[in-house]
Amino acid sequence: MDYTSKAHMASANLYYHPNTSIKFSLGANISKSEAQFNPIQMPTVGQDVLDAIEAGYYDYSMINNYSDLSYTFVNFKFGTEYKLSQSLAFTVDVDYYDLTDKQGYVYGDETGSFYIIRTGLRLGNFGF
């Protein structure tokens, strides 16, 4: 059985600190992946063997189609941190995720996207 897998990925990040109180970050990730294996060639056995192991007839001719994968994953990120005092900062982060499934797997087409927005307070030494 031959299995082929290809993955291409790229990532970029940008950080900007305009002054000692605020910093920004921007990031992007993208990956494109494909995988597949060749059809399985099952050996032919006699009926007496099948009867002896109480096996049924299973058709493996299409099983390789269930393993075909082809999808693109994209992630964009934005973050900022504002220093309120020497040991306290306010943070905002936004993440966007998108998956485009071009070849549904066993569970079907998993295409979709969502975003996350987080805010918070960070305690500690920030190294601004």
For every residue of 22-76, DSSP letters joined together read: EEEEEEEEEEEEEEEEPPP-PPP--HHHHHHTT------TTGGGGG-EEEEEEEE
**Band of residue 92 on the pLDDT scale cut at 50, 70, 90:** very high
pLDDT score of 8 more than 90: yes
Range with top average pLDDT, 28-37, 50-59, 66-75: 28-37
pLDDT score of 127 more than 60: no
**pTM for this predicted structure:** 0.70
Predicted pLDDT of residue 98: 96
Q: Which of 45-49, 91-95, 103-107 has the lowest mean pLDDT?
A: 103-107
**Band of residue 57 on the pLDDT scale cut at 50, 70, 90:** low
Furthest C-alpha separation in the chain:
82
pLDDT score of 97 more than 70: yes
Predicted pLDDT of residue 55: 57
How far is residue 117's CA from residue 89's CA, in Å, rounded to a whole number? 17
